[in-house]
Amino acid sequence: MLAAAASWPIRNARSSGVIAAMAAFTVTALQTMPPEDLLHGLAIFLPALEAALPALLFAIVRDEERHMLGPVFALLLWGGVAFAAMWLLVAITLAGIDAYVRLGAPPVFQTMP
């Protein structure tokens, strides 16, 4: 049982890479862009989750066959691409919210009095 659990990340390297990317992105994003309130935190976390879940589903499907360059390369490739996709989607979301406010619309991140 322990050997099967220990070998899961190697047998499912693509899924492990996406899961590791989500964990690394969450830690990195919350340290570099600390949210002021819950709504701002959700504007960071939800787009990242939106990028990670489809990547994880594709990774699970692709984990059925071996990667031609080995499990370490698969983990790094899928993790790196998933991390970049999460970062890009969060940046686009925050830029869209900022443009929304700069063009005169009511602010999205408004604290209650």
Contacts 24+ apart (CB under 8 A), 50-54: 50/89, 51/82, 51/85, 51/86, 51/88, 51/89, 52/18, 52/21, 52/22, 52/25, 52/82, 52/86
| pLDDT for 28 | 94
Determine the 3-state secondary structure of 36 from DSSP: coil
| pLDDT for 112 | 47
Flag residues of the chain having pLDDT under 50.
Answer: 112
Alpha helices (runs of H) in 2-70, residue ranges in sequence order: 2-11, 13-32, 38-62
The overall pTM is greater than 0.85: no
- Cα 58 to Cα 60: distance, rounded to the nearest angstrom: 5
| pLDDT for 12 | 75
- Please, are residues 64 and 107 in contact by the beta-carbon 8 Å criterion? no
